[in-house]
Amino acid sequence: MNIQSLLGLPDVLTVKKVVAVQPHPDDIEVNIAGTLLQLHRTGCEIVFVTVTDGRAGAWGDVQDADEIVRIRETERIEAGKLLGVHKHITLGFPDGGEYAVSDVTAKLVAVFREEKPDLVFSVDPWMPYEAHPDHVKVGQAVSQAVLFANNAILHPVVSAAPFQVPQIAFYATSYPNRFVELTEEDFQHKLNAILTHRSQFDNEMWPFIQQYFAVAAKEAYQVVHKDDSVSSEGYAEPLKVLSHLQLHSIPSTLYS
């Protein structure tokens, strides 16, 4: 059963406004830059929400956490320009630090009510072996905010009225159900957007990391095309797209 079709929800590439939430300043580029490039070309409005300040992203000689935050802010804005981002929202939680999921959820409920997106992108907090607390906590907070943005009892109305987010698309997921295909040009553009985060990627590991991204994107493409009569190569970004109804008490969501 496809609940999205029953609800008449649009495909991820035909929505008009998205809010893309990331734990750290580079997660969006790494996982969904190609998808956002395609959405931008359709005229879709794109809002970035960056939950933590990225202060733990230390590489090389930079040891001053506040300087890392400043560098990563510049990189984030530069990367956003490459992807056609309309607006940046930062929540300023400490990268790798102590904060509660409920605090992030409350901030995101306000964002979703203000922005009224057709679809929200989030890191998947249920990816097995994900050890980074920011990814787990932020993914949980986004999911709970999608579930409760329309609930005025749990989250009393302060400014914007309750709003139902129709869909969520998880990236960095082990259970994809939608593969967004990328052209060679878009994949190269994605790599450029990732490399905009020079503090994280412009180092001796980049040749290996670049190769990993290419292999992973080619493997994702083959999931869809493995049975093609004529073999072909391409790139894809895996997503787990769910309606808001699938975020609570539906065991088959795992297999959706």
Amino acid type, 197: H
Pair 76, 193: CB distance under 8 Å? no
Stretch that binds Zn ion, among 24-32, 94-102, 173-181, 191-199 (CB under 5 A): 24-32
Q: Using CB under 5 A, pick the residue from 15, 18, 20, 24 that binds Zn ion.
A: 24
Report the alpha-carbon distance of residue 116 to residue 223 in Å, rounded.
33
Stretch that binds Zn ion, among 25-33, 64-72, 145-153, 170-178 (CB under 5 A): 25-33
CA distances from 63 to 108, 199, 207 (A): 31, 12, 24
- Residue 27 or 237: the one with the smaller Cβ distance to Zn ion is 27
- Residue 45 or 237: the one with the smaller Cβ distance to Zn ion is 237
The residue nearest Zn ion at its CB is: 24
- 23 binds Zn ion, rule: CB under 5 A: yes
| Least Å from the CB of residue 232 to Zn ion | 32
- Residue 119 or 136: the one with the smaller Cβ distance to Zn ion is 136
Q: List Cβ neighbours of 162 (8 Å cut-off, separation of 6 or more).
A: 113, 149, 150, 151, 152, 155
- Residue 24 or 240: the one with the smaller Cβ distance to Zn ion is 24
Q: Using CB under 5 A, pick the residue from 19, 27, 111, 115 that binds Zn ion.
A: 27
| Least Å from the CB of residue 164 to Zn ion | 28
- Residue 23 or 176: the one with the smaller Cβ distance to Zn ion is 23
| Least Å from the CB of residue 55 to Zn ion | 13
Report the alpha-carbon distance of residue 132 to residue 36 in Å, rounded.
24
In the chain the beta strands, taken as DSSP E runs, fall at: 17-22, 45-52, 87-93, 119-123, 167-171, 178-182, 235-243
Any idea which residue has 């083959």 for tokens?
222
- Residue 22 or 253: the one with the smaller Cβ distance to Zn ion is 22
**Residue 238, helix vs strand vs coil:** strand
Where do contacts with Zn ion occur on this chain (CB under 5 A)?
Answer: 23-24, 27
